[in-house]
Amino acid sequence: MDRFEKTFTALKENNNKAFVPYIMAGDGGLEGLVDRLKLLEKFGATAIEVGVPFSDPVADGPTIQRAGIRALNQGTTLKNIISELEKARREVSVPIILMTYLNPIYRYGINEFVQDIQTAGVDGCIIPDLPIEEEGIITLQLEEAGIELIRLVTLTTPLERIKTIAGKGKGFLYTVTIKGITGVRNEYDSELNQFLKAVKAISPIPVLAGFGISSQEQIKEITKYCDGVIVGSKIVDLFYSENVQELEELMSVLKPISKII
């Protein structure tokens, strides 16, 4: 049983919800990545999504774009990120998910990329600009390495396509909660709750909601209809402002599961 299976089995057995924070690798200095991962695990992260800075992101809002620019300006590279994640794996036991666009993987070399993230102990990979019709360029390599490709669906994805996408994975289904890019939102479309219920009804794997989630109130409401949340821009902001207390308070809204080894 891999880390994803152990984690989500424990969540279900304890009637808990997942909290997956997102951070931008290299923002604030790549040398601090391991400590940030350890802190997020300490505060109760179910898993951690680590973003790779990219010069031309298509899904990232202003907060994450700025974090990516800061990271790139400090010389952050995909190879160096993977090296730091290998160090982190010695001390961090929760699943680690690497989020990157396809171009950096191509430049790195698909086979070498998969081999290196496997060695580093990465559990999952999110590639937001890779549609299911084209994912065959990397899925076999990821499957052989035991790394989950985490796929995304949106409010505009037809239910039949959602069923197809959800049937391909074993980790979790990333369900985008807004029609647009990442970023803090004060309110959501009225159809979101019904959408999450519909996705939950047809997905054989856990359904996690992400994009724009920034408050305890939103987390409590959204997790009534799915298995957990992914919080990005708010986490990035709190690290940038060094507001560790508010970070801990935000993550305390969902009861953390026991540490998975």
Number of Cβ within 10 Å of residue 220's Cβ equals 13
**Cβ-defined contacts of 156-163 (< 8 Å, 24+):** 159/198, 159/199, 159/202, 162/199, 162/202, 162/203, 163/202, 163/203
- Active-site residue, 84 included: no
- Of 27, 41, 60, 148, the active-site residue reads 60
- Of 49, 116, 123, 227, the active-site residue reads 49
- Active-site residue, 221 included: no
Catalytic residues: 49, 60
